[in-house]
Amino acid sequence: MRYKIILITEFSKPWNNGWYYKSGFEKNGHTVIPLDPEAYKNPADKIFETTKEIRPDFILHTKDELPAAAFHELRQLTRVIMWYPDPVIPDWLPRYVSASDVFLTMSEGLIPEFKKYNPHIFWLTQGFEPSSFEIREITHKDEQLYSSEVTFVGNLGSKTQYLKRRDALEGVINAGLQLKWWGPKIPRKISTIPLLVGKLGRAYGGKFVWGEEYAKIARLSKVFLAFDSMPHIRKSMSARMYTAVGCGAFYLCQHVAGIEEVLEPGKEIVTFQLQEEMKDLARYYLGKDELRRKIADAGRRRIMNEHTYETRMRQLTDIVKDFL
């Protein structure tokens, strides 16, 4: 079955997940009409107009792009599917759960909570879009710029979960390991001066990275270190895991409940519970080049076989087909 789908999400940046979803649907033969609400003065009018004109099989959206009441109204014209890509439940989200024909969460552990608002709740984890992370060549300059013993790619802003990351990364440096991290720049404020001029600030790679640059960093780093914001929530792994491992990283991450059902620790990734264990594992694997490559290669094969967005969108349509 081939579907016509209106995809409502962000498309303003080439790294927005909307592009990955669109590619995954199209590789399965579906027709996708992308609509970024930020691109229109009256996004609700545009979406209703397009829905009436196209008569899609369903609408897929990801966040609060329109008022929840608008999605209730759209259900009179087609089916509305929401795939929420975050383990954090903001105050506004329950209204959108209720306004969906089907609600998909990337956090399996949150299904009981979401079922308070809608019986049609399913787990659908994120994935990897290989075409967005192709490496054409790795030059000597790339090796000098992107190589590191330990790499972190992500946000080190002032939110609580990010402050914990700062503490862990400072622990890596204090343990005598070479760290380089990449991500959004930390704002220059009085409160951030100690961070900016300290060891962690000096370990900053200088920019946010995505695409081929991200893939080169993943490939050239000896240990790609990662932290999920809600590791206690079952199977709430972020898209970072699929992207980094899909790019060929040796992935050392905080253990997320249920992660072993997706990638096997010790064989496809390596996980830790506590900071001391994280540092001990990093030291151990830094001295095991062949073993790191073996684990990274096994993880990448698993991602390419089971966790691309082509596969994920096939799973999505298998879930929603009974509601169309």
User: 306 forms bridges with which residues in the sheet?
Assistant: none
pLDDT of residue 160: 76
For 23-56, b/e burial (b = at least 16 CB within 10 A) is bbbebbebebbbbbbeeeeebbebbbebbeeeeb
- Give the model confidence (pLDDT) of 275-313 as tens digits: 999 999 999 999 999 999 999 999 999 999 999 999 999
Tens digit of pLDDT for each residue in 110-138?
Answer: 999 999 999 999 999 999 999 999 999 99
3-state secondary structure of 208: coil
Domains of the chain: 4-127+308-323 (3.40.50.2000), 135-306 (3.40.50.2000)
Helix (H, G, I), strand (E, B) or coil at 59: strand
Q: How does residue 185 score in pLDDT terms, banded at 50, 70 and 90?
A: confident
**Number of neighbouring beta carbons within 10 Å of residue 63:** 18
Greater model confidence, 198 or 233: 233
**154: nearest Cα among 187, 184, 178:** 184
Provide the percentage of residues in the chain whose pLDDT is more than 90.
90
- Nearest CA to 27 out of 243, 304, 311 is that of 311
What residue type is assigned to position 14 of the chain? P
- Is 90 exceeded by the pLDDT of residue 259? yes
Q: Are 319 and 122 in contact (CB under 8 A)?
A: yes
- How many residues would you count in the chain? 324
Supply φ then ψ for residue 251, to 5 degrees.
Answer: -105, 115
Residue 31, token pair as written in the block: 């027709």
Q: Which two tokens stand for residue 102?
A: 């089907």
36 confidence band (pLDDT: 50, 70, 90): very high
pLDDT above 90: residue 76 = yes
What pLDDT sits at residue 322?
94
Round the CA-based radius of gyration of the chain to a whole number and report it: 21
Say yes or no to pLDDT of 317 above 90: yes
Beta strands in 172-302 (DSSP E): 179-182, 221-226, 251-254, 270-272
Q: Which long-range contacts (CB under 8 A, 24 or more apart) does 262-269 make?
A: 262/125, 262/235, 262/237, 262/307, 263/299, 263/302, 263/303, 264/302, 266/295, 267/295, 267/298, 268/295, 268/298, 268/299, 268/302, 269/241, 269/245, 269/295, 269/299
